């Protein structure tokens, strides 16, 4: 970023708070407070004039409140990244602020470290945004990394930054619904990408005799016969590539910290194999963003981002969307799935979609169906076909097929480089 300083505007009606923030920031050599405002109106005005990189915005302001001011600044100065400052317990406001386009939150009084780190983080996001908007930028676009010749299939990765929100449920039911919809003429596979604690086998009530571990050590000789021999068929017609029987077996091929380059290479080769045999491969990924998960996400044509209507989910999903931007994933590559969509959490679906992206599907919560699925291994989409939850998966499958067919039409477009993604990620996460 060169010697450019991060230009910050502070909006708070209390003079002492403004002064404290300014003092805290005076210790950061890379941050400069370019202005302070005591009201929302003044904040919007100064944002227009000063075009700051970052705005620190109090929620409770006399006159125009911080949320309305945030909305206006987002609209008029889209490059400005807004951090909301709130006192504990203002979560109701925070929801609204997030929907208004705020990037992050800090609880008053923030520590100096927290404040600086948040400013630097949102600044980086803003810079990436600017780079994307620049006409001559070389950011990759289009569906991610196509492997060498022979591939026909498309990859759908189901991911959530949070565990336990329903990724496996979505992956399993989507695969079954896709197969049902496509009929016997087309082949659908599911891969359990959660190598250490995968649940796909249990959710489909499959006895695993072979797993991805059997393939991973023999990727050099991978062919149709070998692939077929390790896949487990399910009565719905889909084939499953299951997770290893225990975490140690997974470690043996993916590396001790679940993220070696060699592990990724092997998984890449397995994906190549699967995609040359199947029309659609659904992969259930782990919530952890390591090398392996990124291999799946990079290679995916479509990433289904699963959230439930809870603030931490939405916040993490937002961070993921920002990361996806920095990785050069086009927004069309991501489909939002709101699970437990009918749960009364105080968050409306339209608010979530405004804070994130429009959803591809809303999946209602059905406790009984969930228990049957988990404990008897019977997919919701077949067991509860007539219930709203079953219908929701059918709807999701239709949405996924439609999105994938759009990609097929633009298949010849440029391909992003996975190398570029890695570099950007390294910068984004400081690894």
Ligand X SMILES: Nc1ncnc2c1ncn2[C@@H]1O[C@H](COP(=O)(O)OP(=O)(O)OP(=O)(O)O)[C@@H](O)[C@H]1O
Please list the residues that pair with 88 across neighbouring strands.
none
Residue 20 or residue 168: which is nearer to Mg ion going by CB?
A: 168
| 1-31 CB burial, b ≥16 within 10 A, e <16 | eeeebbbbbbbbbeeebbebbeebbeebeeb
As given in the structure block, the two tokens for residue 253 are 């091929």
Residue 21 or residue 212: which is nearer to ligand X going by CB?
A: 212
Residue 365 or residue 407: which is nearer to ligand X going by CB?
A: 365
Distances in whole angstroms, Cα of residue 370 to Cα of each of 166, 376, 381: 10, 10, 11
Residue 141 or residue 287: which is nearer to ligand X going by CB?
A: 287
Q: How far is the CB of 285 from Mg ion (least distance, A)?
A: 9
Q: Which does 363 bind (CB under 5 to 8 A by kind): Mg ion, ligand X, none?
A: ligand X
DSSP element (H, E) containing 37: strand 31-37
Q: How far is the CB of 99 from ligand X (least distance, A)?
A: 23
Position closest to ligand X via CB: 370
Kindly list the residues in this chain that would bind ligand X in the complex (CB under 6 A): 160, 163-169, 194, 199, 287, 339-340, 363, 365-367, 369-370, 373-374, 389
Residue 354 or residue 387: which is nearer to ligand X going by CB?
A: 387
For the beta carbon of residue 129, count every other beta carbon within 10 angstroms. 16
- Strand, coil or helix: 368: helix
Distance CA 280, CA 404 (A): 9
Q: Which does 407 bind (CB under 5 to 8 A by kind): ligand X, Mg ion, none?
A: none
Do residues 151 and 279 lie in contact, with contact meaning Cβ atoms separated by under 8 Å? no
As given in the structure block, the two tokens for residue 203 are 């959710």
Question: Phi and psi dihedrals of 193, rounded to 5?
Answer: -90, 5
Position closest to Mg ion via CB: 168
Q: How far is the CB of 273 from ligand X (least distance, A)?
A: 24
Strand pairing class (6-11; 31-37): parallel
Q: Which does 86 bind (CB under 5 to 8 A by kind): Mg ion, ligand X, none?
A: none
Do residues 349 and 318 lie in contact, with contact meaning Cβ atoms separated by under 8 Å? no
Q: How far is the CB of 372 from ligand X (least distance, A)?
A: 8
Distance CA 345, CA 331 (A): 27
Q: Which does 374 bind (CB under 5 to 8 A by kind): ligand X, Mg ion, none?
A: ligand X
Distances in whole angstroms, Cα of residue 96 to Cα of each of 71, 83, 117, 158: 10, 13, 23, 28
- Helices H, strands E: what count in the chain? 18, 13
Q: How far is the CB of 375 from ligand X (least distance, A)?
A: 8
Residue 27 or residue 197: which is nearer to Mg ion going by CB?
A: 197
For the beta carbon of residue 96, count every other beta carbon within 10 angstroms. 21
Q: How far is the CB of 266 from ligand X (least distance, A)?
A: 22
Q: How far is the CB of 341 from ligand X (least distance, A)?
A: 8
Kindly list the residues in this chain that would bind Mg ion in the complex (CB under 5 A): 167-168, 199
Q: Which does 366 bind (CB under 5 to 8 A by kind): Mg ion, ligand X, none?
A: ligand X
Residue 10 or residue 338: which is nearer to ligand X going by CB?
A: 338
Q: Which does 206 bind (CB under 5 to 8 A by kind): ligand X, Mg ion, none?
A: none
């Amino acid at each position: 970023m060169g010697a450019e300083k991060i230009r910050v505007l502070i909006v708070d009606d209390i003079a002492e708070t403004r002064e404290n923030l300014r003092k805290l920031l005076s210790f950061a050599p890379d941050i400069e407070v370019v202005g302070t405002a005591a009201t929302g109106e003044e904040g919007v005005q100064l944002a227009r004039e000063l075009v700051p990189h970052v705005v620190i915005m109090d929620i409770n302001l006399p006159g125009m409140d911080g949320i309305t001011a945030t909305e206006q600044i987002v609209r008029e100065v889209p490059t400005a990244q807004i951090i909301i400052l709130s006192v504990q317990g203002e979560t109701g406001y925070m929801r609204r602020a997030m929907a208004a386009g705020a990037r992050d939150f800090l609880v008053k009084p923030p520590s100096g470290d927290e404040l600086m780190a948040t400013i630097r983080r949102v600044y980086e996001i803003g810079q990436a945004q600017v780079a994307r908007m620049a006409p001559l930028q070389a950011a990759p676009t289009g569906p991610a990394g196509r492997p060498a010749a022979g591939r026909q299939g498309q990859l759908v990765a189901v991911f959530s930054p949070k565990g336990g929100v329903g990724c496996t449920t979505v992956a399993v039911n989507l695969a079954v619904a896709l197969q049902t919809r496509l009929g016997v003429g087309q082949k659908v596979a599911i891969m359990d990408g959660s190598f250490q604690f995968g649940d796909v086998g249990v959710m489909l009530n499959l006895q695993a005799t072979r797993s991805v571990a059997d393939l991973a050590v023999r990727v050099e000789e991978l062919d149709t016969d070998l692939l077929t021999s390790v896949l487990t068929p399910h009565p719905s017609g889909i084939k499953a590539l299951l997770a290893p029987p225990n975490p140690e077996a997974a470690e043996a091929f993916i590396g001790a910290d679940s993220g070696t380059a060699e592990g990724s290479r092997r998984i890449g080769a397995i994906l190549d194999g699967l995609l040359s045999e199947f029309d659609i491969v659904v992969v259930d990924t782990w919530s952890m963003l390591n090398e392996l998960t990124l291999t799946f996400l990079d290679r995916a044509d479509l990433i289904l981002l699963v959230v439930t209507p809870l603030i931490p989910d939405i916040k993490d999903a937002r961070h993921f969307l920002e990361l996806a931007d920095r990785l050069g994933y086009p927004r069309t590559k991501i489909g939002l799935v709101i699970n437990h969509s009918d749960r009364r959490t105080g968050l409306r679906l339209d608010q979530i979609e405004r804070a994130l992206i429009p959803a591809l599907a809303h999946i209602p919560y059905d406790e009984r169906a969930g228990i049957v699925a988990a404990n008897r291994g019977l997919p919701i989409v077949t067991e509860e076909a007539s219930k709203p939850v079953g219908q929701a998966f059918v709807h999701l499958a239709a949405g996924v097929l439609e999105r994938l067919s759009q990609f097929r039409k633009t298949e010849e477009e440029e391909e992003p480089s996975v190398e570029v993604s890695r570099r950007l990620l390294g910068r984004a996460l400081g690894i």
